[in-house]
């Protein structure tokens, strides 16, 4: 899924099959005992629901 937002004032029609995004896949590193690390609880801020 790709989320799009039209910032213009006119409707834009995207034809079926039109290429609108690009996926980038890469490897990432983990550390030993990564699953045992204490999880940090967010205290709010940008993007937080506050719950």
**What pLDDT score does 36 carry?**
62
φ and ψ at residue 35, rounded to 5 degrees = -75, -10
| Residues contacting 14, CB < 8 A, separation 6+ | 4, 20
Residue 48 resides in a domain: no
In a domain, 3, yes or no: no
Query: How many domains is the chain built from?
Result: 1
Looking at residue 11, its pLDDT comes to 94
Distance CA 51, CA 45 (A): 11
User: Structure tokens of 50?
Assistant: 């506050």
Domain that holds residue 32: 17-43
| pLDDT at site 27 | 75
Q: What's the confidence (pLDDT) of residue 8?
A: 94
Interatomic CA distance for residues 34 and 21, integer angstroms? 32
Could you read off the pLDDT of 1-51 as tens digits, one per residue?
778 889 999 999 989 988 888 878 877 777 776 666 566 666 666 655 555
pLDDT value, residue 7:
93
Tokens of 1: 């899924």
């Amino acid at each position: 899924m790709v989320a799009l937002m039209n910032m213009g004032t006119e409707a834009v029609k995207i034809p079926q099959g039109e290429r609108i995004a690009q996926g980038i896949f890469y490897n990432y590193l983990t550390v030993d005992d990564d699953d045992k690390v204490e999880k940090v609880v967010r205290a709010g801020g940008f993007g937080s629901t506050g719950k």
